[in-house]
Structure 1
Amino acid sequence: MNQKYLFPLILVVILPLFLIFLLFISGVSSYLNRKFSDGLFAILPHHYHMSDEIVIIDIDEQSIAKYADELAFGQWPWKRNVYPTLLSFTHLIQPPKIILIDIMFTERSDYDQALIDANDQIGGISHAANFRIDPGSKILPTVAERFKRFEIPLPDTSPFPIYESAAFPNGGIGNTTPAIHVVNVIPDTDGVLRRFSPLMRWHELHYPTLPIQAFAEGKPLEIEWKDGELELEREDGKRTSIPLGNKGLVRTYFYSEEEVRSIPRYSAAGIIESMKQIQKGEVEDPEQLIVSPSVFANKIVILGTSAASTHDDVVIPYGLFPGVMAQSVFASNVIQGHCLRELEEYLGILFAGLLLLISLYVLFVSQAHWFRNLFPFFAFGIFLSAFYILYRNNLVLPSSYTLISFPLSYLLGFAYLTYTEGKEKRKFNSILRNLVDPGVVSQALDDMETLKRGGEWEITAFFSDVAGFSSISEELTASDLARLLNEYLSAMTEILKANSGTLDKYIGDAIVGIYGAPIFYPDHPKMACKSALEMVDRLEILRKQWIINNDYTPSARNMKFRIGLNCGLAKVGFMGTDSLASYTMMGDTVNLASRLEAAAKDYGMNVLVSETIESACKDEFHFRFLDKIRVKGKDAPVKIYGLICKKTEVTETLISGETIYRNAFQLYSSQQWDKAIRSFEEAMHFFGKDDASCIALIERCKILFREPPPLTWDGVFTRTTK
C-alpha cells in the first residue's frame, strides 16, 4: 500500500473498527442496536397494520372505580365469580375464536368454582401461567427431541392456575382450563420491552406464550425448529414461521404509536352493565347495548387490565403502556407474520466497514472535492435506504456499528485532511502570495491537487528586461540602484498581479511572468497585452516623476524596457524542494517569449509578440506586423508583431504606414530589393526616420542585394543570437 494512505487507513478505518469491536465483545452494541433501531423505526414509514382479529376486554380505571364499593366485586383483585359474566357475554351472538386471560389465578379463592364452571361450560378459554425468571437466572438451550438446540427462557419458579385441592377434588382452575399460555414478558437491559418468547420451558415441557396461543386458538399445534425459525402448524393446516433471535426471543414489529393506542378495547364495566341491561330486558336489540356482543364474534379476545392499581404496565418503544396492549401487539405479529429478524452482528460490522472504506477513498483518493462535503449525507442516505429495505423485508440491520463508527471515522479523517491540507495550503500560500494577486490565491488553493500536480497548460509567457541596465547600474550607488529597482519592479509587478498574472521570478532587472496559471483564464493573452501596455504607461509616469525630482542619473531617468509575449502550451507547476519551491514554467513557448523580448531591441519595439498572441487578441488590440524570423534553436519560422495600442486608439496615419510597410515586406520577400527599400523609406514618413524596423529591413535589403541569398531562401530572417 502507498505509504501516504497508511495513516489515513488507520485513522479512518482501523481505529473505528477497533472501537466497534470493543462494543461488540462488551455487549454494549446489542443495547445500542436496539436503541438506535427504535429511533429509526419511529422516523421510517410503517408498512404493516395491527390485526383486526384482536380485541381487548379491559379492566380499566373506570371499571375499578365503578365497582369499588360493591361487595359482589370487592377491592382489586376482583372476586372470581365476576369473570364468568365477562366471558359468557362474548358468546351471546357468536363465540370468539379464543379468550386469552392475561390475569393470574394462582392462589386459592372461595370463588374459584365460578371459573371452573366457566372453563367447563363456556370453553374456548386459555388461562395464564407466569414462569417467574429471577434476574440471576440464565436462558438455556432446549434439549427436546422435536427441536434442534436453541435457547428458550428457563424459569426458576412456575405458578400455574391453581390446580385441584381438597376444596376442589374434581379439579381446580388449572385442571379444567381448555388451554394454558404463559404471560411472561422479558424486557431488554434498558427496561424496554421489544421482544417476546414464543415458548417457555418448564422441566422438559414447552409451553406456548400468549401470542403463540393466539395463533393456535387453543387447538393442538405442531412446532418445528428449522433454519433459524420456529415453524408453527395448526391442525387445520394454517402455518406461520417465527424468526428466533438471540436467546430464543423474537423481535417485535410495533406498528405505529397511533395504531397501538387504537387497538379495540372494551371496558369491563361497559360489558357488565350491558349484561345487566339484557337481564332486565331493557334492550331488545343487542346493537343498542353499551357494548354489543357482536364485537367479539369470531375474534381473538384478550382479557387484561389497564388500571394503574393493577400494576400491569410495561415500557415499549413508545413509552409506558398496559401489558395487555403489548401482548396484543405480540399476538398480531405472530398471526400476520410481522415478526422481525435481527440480523447477525457481523453483518452490521461488515456494512460499517464497507462504508468506512468508501469514506477513505472519498477523503484521500478521490479528486471530487465537492463530493467530500456531500458524502456524509450520501452515506447516511445509503445506510437509511439499506436499513429501510431490510426493514420492509422483516429484517433489522444492526445499526450501532455504522451510526457510531462512520461519524467518528469521517470526523477524524476530515480533521486530519484539514490539518494536512491546511499545512500544505499555508506552505503554498506563503509562496503564492508573493507571486499573484491576493484575490487569486484563495482560488488557486481551492484545488490543491491540481496546484501541486501542475501539468501542461496553455499559458502566455511574459518576459521583460530593461534596456542598457548594466550601464545604468554602473552610474548609480548601491542604495540608489536598490531604490530604483524597488520602484520599477514594484510598479511593474503590481500591474502584472492586478491583471491575474503570476510572478515567476526576477532575474536582476528582468521580470518573468505567467498568465493563465495556476488559475486558468481563457483570455490570458489579452490580460498579458493589457498588462504590457499599462506597464509602458506606468514607466512613462515614473520617468516624469524622476525628472521632476531629479532622481538618479539622466540615463536612469530615460530608462526603457522591452517585453516579449508568446502564447502556447507549457509545463507549469511548483518546482524545487519542500522548503524552497517556486511556481514556474518550462518549454518552447517560454523560450520563444524570451527570444522575442531580446529581439524587441532590433525592431525598436516596447512590446514584441508572436503570431499566436496577435491572432488571439487582434479584435481588442492593434498589432504592427514586423517580420518573419527563425529564432536560435528553432527551425520553424515565426511571424512577429509589435503591440502598439488598443484597437480604439488606432490612427489613420498608423494604418497608412503599416499598409506601406506590409507592401514593402512583400517586395522584400520576392527579392525586389530596390523597390522594397523605396517602400520602407516611404513607410518611414509615417513612422518616423528613426523607425528601427524600417531601418533594419533596409539594411538587410542592401546586404542581400550585394550578397544574394540561395535559391531556397524563404524570406525568413534567421537570428543567430538569443
Structure 2
Amino acid sequence: MAFWRARKFSWGRLSGFLLVFALLGLRIVDPIFVERLRLQAFDQFQRLNPREITPYPVVILDIDDRSLNEVGQWPWPRTTIAELTDRVFQAGAAAMAFDIVFSEPDRLSPGSVAIDNPGISNEIRSQLMQLPSNDAVLARSFSRNRVVLGETSVRSGLQASEVERDIQKVPHAIIGPDPEPYLLKFPELVQNLPILNEVAQGRGVFTVLPDADGIYRRVPIVMMVEGALRLSLSLELLRVATGGDAFAIRSNDAGIDGVVVAGQVIRTQGDGTVWTRFSASDPNRFVSAANLLQGRVPQNRLAGHLVLVGTSAIGLEDFRATPLGVPMAGVEIHAQLLENILGGALLKRENTADGKELITTAAMTILVIALAPMLHAGVLIISTLVLVSAYGTYAYLMFFWQSELVDPTFPIAATMLTVMLMSSTNYLREERRRNRIRNAFGQYVTPALVAQLTDSMDALKLGGERRDLSVLFSDVRGFTTLSEGFRDDPQGLTKLMNELLTVMSEPILNSGGTIDKFMGDAVMAFWNAPLEAKDHPRASCRAALEMVRAVGEFNRSRMETSVPGTPHHPIQIGVAVNTGPCFVGNMGSRSRFDYTALGDTVNVASRLEGQTKRYGMSIIIGERTAQIVDGEFALLELDLIRVKGKTEPERIYGVMGGERLAGTDGFKALSEVGVDMLAAYRTGQWQKALELIAELERQAARLDLDLQDYCALFRKRSERLVKLPEDPDWGGVYDALEK
C-alpha cells in the first residue's frame, strides 16, 4: 500500500513538474497573449494609482474646436501660425515645439493665390507675386525664437538607401558600444519645408508606436531615422529650452542605458524607449490657441514654460488610447512625457526583470508541488491564495514606492494553474455545480439573479410550473427596409443589430426580467420567473418605456456619428406587454432544452406587439396589465380587439408615459376624451365619434403626444361605418385578422 501511495505521489509531482517546465518555456517565448496580460496589469497599476497632477512648466497650446470655430478650418494660413508663435514668446515662453508637420507650401500664400486664380488682373497678380510667401513670414518668426519643429516617421515601403536627402543632425556623443543595433529604426522621415527647417533651433520626432493591443505606453526618446540619430519631440524641446548644443547616449552590452540632455540622465529601456506614468487628462495643461490669438490668456500663463502646439479638436482625430482607459490627444502624451522627465516620475523596468520573474515563477510553482501531497485541498488553496496575494501586493508596492514595473500576472497565473492541477476533483465539485447554474441562466437574466439561483437551487424547478407572468414582445419596425440599406454590408447590419439588441436588452435585465430568446430583430422576455417578482407588471412597463427611450438615444447617437452624405434610417420599435398565467420551465429534448414560457398570455402578447404599428403606438399593454398599473403610468384605452386565434375580445391600452405625465390635468382631460370617443364609436354614434377624434388630436398636440396614426385609424373607420347600414350586432369589437 505504501508503495502504491508513493507511485501515486510520484506521478502527481511529475505532472506538476512537466506543467512548470511548459509554463517556463511559454514565458521565454513570450507570445502576444502573455505580453498583453503583463501590459494590462501595468495599466491596472496606473489606474489604481495614477500620477498626481502637479503643476509643471509645460503647456499645450491647443488647436481645439473653439479655435477652429473662431479662426477657421484647419490648416490655418502660415501667417496665423507666425502670429501664434510670436504671441507665445511675447508671453515669455522658454521654448516652443510643434506636434505638427509643415511639409507642404502654404496654398494661401500671395503667390499661390495669384497662380490659383487666373481670372485676376495682371497688375494684382504682379503685386501678389512680389509679396513674401506665408512660409517666409513663418520662417522669420521661427528665426527670432526658440522653436522646435516636429517630424514624423512613416513606413513607406522604401528602403533607407533609396531615399537620398539631407537629414539635419544634432551633435551627440556615444558613451559605450554602438547603440544602433538596439534602437528603433524608421526608413523614412516626413520633414518640414526647407525654409522652415533651416531656421528652427531644433527638430524632434513625434512618432509614438502603440503596443500590440493598440495602447500607447512607451515613447521612444531616441531612435534611428534614415540612418541618423534623432531625439523625440519632447526631449528636443527640453534640449533647446536649456540651451544645450548636444546630447549623449549611454549604452552597454544589454542595449541603451540612458540619454543625457541638459546635464540630466534619463534612464531608458534597451531600445531607447521610456515608460510614461500617466496622470488624468488635465484641462489646466491646455491653453486654447483662439484665446491666445484674441488676447484672452492671463499674464504669466506661458512665462518660463515649455509650449507644445497640438490639437484636441474632434475633427482632426489626433487621439490615442492610454493605460488609464481613456483616449488622450497625441500632444498630451508628449506633454506627460515632459512632466515625467521634469518630475523624475518615469516608470522603470529593469533589463533583468524577465530573468528575475522566471526564477520567481519557478520558485512559487515548485513550492506548491512540494506542499500539495502534504496538505488538504482547502488548506492548499488558502495557502496558495496567500502566496499569490503576497506576490501581487509586492508587485503593486514596487510600482507604488519605486515606480518599478514587476509583472504579477505570469507568476500568479502559473502558480494557480499548478495548484489546480494538484488539487483533487472533490474540491471542484461544488464549483462545477454552481457553474452549471451560471451557464444555464447567465445569458438570460441579470448577474444578481444568477447569484440568487446559485445560492438557492430550490428556487429553480426543473420541468416547469404554472405561474403568473408579465410577458414582453418587442420588434423592429420596417426591418426589411432597414436591412436593404445594408445590402452590400452584411457585417455592418450584424454589428448594428447586436448594438441595438444590447440597447433593448439592458432595460429588461436591469428591471429583473428574463430574456427568453432573440428572434432575428425581435426580443421575448418575461418577469416573475424563475424567481418570484411581486411587482412584475410595473417592472415590465417600466422596462418598455426605458426601451423606447434608449432606442431614441441610440438613434441620436447614430445620427451624430454617421458619415455625412450616407443614408440614415431611424430605428423604431414596437413593444407589447401582457400579464396572465403561463407555463414556464425547461422545455425541449433530453439533449437540448430552453428555459421558456408558454400559454395564451404569451400568444396574446405576441399578437399585441403586431398591432403597435397599426395603432401608431410604441407600447401596447393588455387589459390585466393595465388594471394593475393604472394610475402609475399614463394609460390611454385604445380599442377592444379580437386577436387572431382568439374568440374573446381583449381591451388594449397604450402606455404614453410614466407617473409624472399620468398625474397632469392635461393627460386626464385627454384620457376622458379618449374614453368618450370610444363610447361613441362602440354605440354607433359616428358623427360624435368624429368630433371627439378631432378634439383628441387637439389635446394630444397640447401635450406633445403623437396620436396622429391612432386618430387617423378611427377617423377612417368611423367615416366608413357612417356610410353603411346600421348593424344591430355592432359592439365596437375590431377583429385583428393579421398577427
Query: TM (normalized to structure 1)?
Result: 0.48
Instruction: State the structure with more CA Rg.
Output: 1
Query: TM (normalized to structure 2)?
Result: 0.47
